[in-house]
Structure 1
Amino acid sequence: MKSKRLIVISLDALGSTDFEMFSQLPNFKKFIDHAAFCRQVRSVYPSLTYPAHTTIVTGRPPAEHGIVNNILIQPERSSPDWFWQRKYIQGTTLYDEALKKGMQVAALLWPVTAKSDITWNLPEIFANHRWSNQIMTSAANGTLGYQLTLNRKFGSLRDGIRQPALDNFVQASMNYTIRTYRPDMMFVHLTDLDTQRHHFGVHSKEAHAAIERHDRRVGELMHLLHRCGMSVKRDTTVVLLGDHSQLDVQNIILINRFLREQGYIRVQHGRITDWKAYCQNCDGSAYIYIRKNGLEKSEQIRIKNEIYDWLCAMKNDPDNGIAAIYSSKKAKELGADPECTFMLEARRGFYFQNELDMGEIPEVQRATHGFHPGRKDYQTVFMAVGPDIMPGVEIEEMSLMDEGPTMAEIMGLELPGAKGKVLREIFR
């Protein structure tokens, strides 16, 4: 392989149904004209940002790499921690293998990279304790000097996590990193579109405006590479990809409200103090866990049977919003958490939340993800341009697991344990 450099841009929530629209925008169109691409990429289950991005860099499903959700199981906390740190990933990653070969790697808000060995790292993490602040939290989990430089130069572009200001900051930081450090491998996570869809809906004017902003960002990147002498014909591969799509929703399912009513969850002063069974939401899907520590096996079985009977009755009523009930074994087969007792899939228009009461929900979403990756109009996309890439090749369909092994091949690396395949048909 001839590529000396790999730049991976994740456009969070970019879906296959967007392809017709964005492929007509000037910079996307120019990119696709020189790219190999797939407009039907199957995500993972649950199709959430953190499981998906970890699959992209490992080539393995959540059941194997261990990032089975965005958030950790912490029922007693009103704001649970997320799977922020690299330590949660089981096995190796594409950037680990690059670092082993002496390559220099940069990452900007790429999920599950906090406290990793990445050379220049601005991790996606937020201050989640009363005694911490964002600066301290980011500094403790990423590359301190690099982050201070980015914040000094471009911090004025940010407005907390509000979009599109956050992506404008990330774009400026990416441009600076390319010009200044010229990393061998770079991972960039842009969330503008995902945010707009959550707030306003899949096909909202706000979502379309976010795609148009992404078009300008792609154009800016390609122009910068040209100015810096980084040629996609000679030495640099650029990959644009999505992690999942989104579906519009109108109704919320609160499984934990029932579990509380049945005595499986104890609450004092509005906070969970103890639980025997708990529902952990994944938006379009959800896990139900029965506690193992402190419960006799016979009691675990009794609770499991009681909850299953109730779930079946709920599923039989379409107004309750449950489309499917999966066993732990089936969840594992689908690539999800094998430690769950049940996994639930929401009907179209519904999604799950952890809260015990509707009044506790901080924000109602207009669209979301987390659904089974086989849902209609729910695939994502993959596009690659580079010296080894054959322009005009369209892959009819592929899996998110194929991306890591393929990008490893581009850089002359191995990705041990990957379950996806190398997309050899895209190479010259």
Structure 2
Amino acid sequence: MKKLFVFMIDALCASDIEKMKEMPNFSKIINEGSYVASIETVWPALTYSCHTSIVTGTYVDRHSICNNEVMERGCKPGDVWYGYKSQVKDPTILDYARENGLTTASIAWPVSAGANYTYNWPMIVPYKYKDYDAEKYLYGNATDNLLEKYFWKYGLHQKGPDAELDRLTMAIAPDLIRDFGQPDVMFVKMCDLDTQRHNYGVYSEEAYIQLRRHDLELGVLLESIKRYGDYENTNFVIMGDHGQTNIEDVLNINVLLKQAGFIRTDENGEIIDCDCYAHSTALTCCIELKNPDDKKMAKKVKDFLLTLKEDKDIQLRYVYDKEEMKEIFRVDGPFDFITESNRDISFSDKLDKDTIWASTEPGDHKIGRATHGSRGDRKETTLFIASGPSVKKGVVIEKANMVDEAVTMAKMIGFDMPNTDGRILHELLVE
């Protein structure tokens, strides 16, 4: 029986393919298989939105994960992040695999807490959590089989100020394959390339050192499958969720809206009232109206945003309203406009600033030295690489869509995913 093993690298860029060809483990998969040179992401190209589209094969307007942070109306920043499988409105490839009698595993995948997979260790401990009782987030959300087997010795990697999710992932994943046998479908997600690019930039030496480490980590997992699994019958996929872009400037968009009179604050800078409020999605910005039914105010806000297209410093690329973003880009959520600059500007939704411009903050996932979140047509998109018994050798597809990936991977191991938005990439497959 054919199996599927997926190695997800957060912030894997399309241009990384040339360096990957020089690394021993990546090159093995590339040379024995085929790849898509540019995967157009869903929009906004954020980790949680993209990961959800990758496994559901549907766009944001269907699966509902429109941001990393849970967005709610009320002129306030998002604080809590998405995390629970119950928040995803569409079934995933792992759900369909289970329905087809296959065993499933998901390690460190976003928005998967509580999923009914055979083995599941979700990305559920909060993004900035640095305390010592991470288990309170895991129990009831990860599967008991993994918690009972591994938390006592590997849980330390999710505790304290030096917590490191990739260390945890690389402790659990090879042991799972050895201790439980190779699952029929296994998804493993790595985070640190994204972190290094936020910290140091897209093409930094630190980023390429981290890419090399991910190659070594893949090597450990390949060896685990050779020793304890069914290597010859496994289809291997290496993929990314989005690219990244080096940032020139940071725009404090809510400060700008305040200066324009749309946000009113007290002497401490706390919001008293607002007509609209901006939520940063890094390279893009989602703007909510306090009253979406107020057509007069909606026009006033949109007209103001449209003037920023002509501003020589801001240079907004577009301003789409709710109907346009849903019809053209399949984006929906509790907001009414979405915009992005022609320049490499990241948006900050902070209000506690005196000016509309700010400097990048290395490491910040919105306003770091590099970030993401834009439409899928920027320079750096991401990759989809596959090899195995179901995959042709030597095929290069120049471009495909993120929603094509789930249905293509499902086809590799013999089942279909009905009612999705993607197409099967038959060009890659042995059929």
Same fold (TM over 0.5): yes
Q: Which residue of 2 aligns with 1:143?
A: 143
How do 1:126-141 residues align onto structure 2 when only pairs under 5 Å count? 126-127=125-126, 133-141=133-141
Q: Structure 1 counterpart of 2:112, which letter?
A: T
Shift of 1:339: 5.1
Task: Tell me how far apart the structure 2 counterparts of residues 279 and 177 of structure 1 sit (CA, whole Å).
Answer: 43
Shift of 1:224: 1.7
Work out whether 1:374 is the aligned partner of 2:377.
yes
Task: Tell me how far apart the structure 1 counterparts of residues 128 and 238 of structure 2 sit (CA, whole Å).
Answer: 34
Q: Which residue of 2 aligns with 1:10?
A: 8
Q: Which residue of 1 aligns with 2:313?
A: 319
How do 1:44-193 residues align onto structure 2 when only pairs under 5 Å count? 44-74=42-72, 80-127=79-126, 133-157=133-157, 165-181=164-180, 182-193=182-193
* RMSD of aligned Cα (Å): 2.6
Contact 2:29/2:236 (8 A) holds in 1: no
Offset from partner CA, 1:97-144 (integer Å, 9 cap, x none): 112223221111101111221222111123489999522012232224
Task: Tell me how far apart the structure 1 counterparts of residues 167 and 393 of structure 2 sit (CA, whole Å).
Answer: 29
Offset from partner CA, 1:248-279 (integer Å, 9 cap, x none): 00311222223334554455655546544221
Shift of 1:311: 1.2
Q: Which residue of 2 aligns with 1:305?
A: 299
Task: Tell me how far apart the structure 1 counterparts of residues 236 and 224 of structure 2 sit (CA, whole Å).
Answer: 12
Contact 2:34/2:428 (8 A) holds in 1: yes
Q: In the superposition, relative to structure 1, how do residues 200 and 129 fare at CA in structure 2: closer, same or farther (>3 Å)? A: closer
Q: Structure 2 counterpart of 1:381, which letter?
A: L
Q: Structure 2 counterpart of 1:110, which letter?
A: W
Task: Tell me how far apart the structure 2 counterparts of residues 81 and 70 of structure 1 sit (CA, whole Å).
Answer: 9
Unaligned ranges ≥5, structure 2: none
Offset from partner CA, 1:13-48 (integer Å, 9 cap, x none): 101111111211122112211112111111111111
Task: Tell me how far apart the structure 2 counterparts of residues 336 and 157 of structure 1 sit (CA, whole Å).
Answer: 36
Q: In the superposition, relative to structure 1, how do residues 382 and 249 fare at CA in structure 2: closer, same or farther (>3 Å)? A: same
Contact 1:78/1:271 (8 A) holds in 2: no
Shift of 1:350: 0.7
Q: In the superposition, relative to structure 1, how do residues 48 and 273 fare at CA in structure 2: closer, same or farther (>3 Å)? A: same
Within the candidate set 325, 333, 340, 2:335 is matched to 340
Task: Tell me how far apart the structure 1 counterparts of residues 127 and 16 of structure 2 sit (CA, whole Å).
Answer: 34
Q: In the superposition, relative to structure 1, how do residues 192 and 263 fare at CA in structure 2: closer, same or farther (>3 Å)? A: same
Q: Structure 2 counterpart of 1:353, which letter?
A: S
Task: Tell me how far apart the structure 1 counterparts of residues 352 and 185 of structure 2 sit (CA, whole Å).
Answer: 45
Q: Structure 1 counterpart of 2:19, which letter?
A: M
Contact 1:121/1:147 (8 A) holds in 2: no
Q: Structure 2 counterpart of 1:356, which letter?
A: L
Work out whether 1:350 is the aligned partner of 2:348.
no
Query: Given the two structures, how large is their TM-score scaled by the length of structure 1?
Result: 0.90
Q: Structure 1 counterpart of 2:43, which letter?
A: Y
Q: Which residue of 2 aligns with 1:283?
A: 282
Within the candidate set 390, 393, 396, 1:391 is matched to 393
Q: Which residue of 1 aligns with 2:29?
A: 31
**DSSP 3-state at the match of 1:147:** helix
Shift of 1:172: 1.7
> Which of 194-203 and 265-274 deviates more?
265-274
Contact 1:331/1:338 (8 A) holds in 2: no
Identity %: 31
Q: In the superposition, relative to structure 1, how do residues 228 and 144 fare at CA in structure 2: closer, same or farther (>3 Å)? A: closer
Query: Given the two structures, how large is their TM-score scaled by the length of structure 2?
Result: 0.89
Contact 1:22/1:28 (8 A) holds in 2: yes
Q: Structure 1 counterpart of 2:389, which letter?
A: P
Q: Structure 1 counterpart of 2:323, which letter?
A: K
Contact 1:199/1:365 (8 A) holds in 2: yes
Shift of 1:202: 0.3
Shift of 1:155: 3.5
Q: In the superposition, relative to structure 1, how do residues 129 and 226 fare at CA in structure 2: closer, same or farther (>3 Å)? A: closer
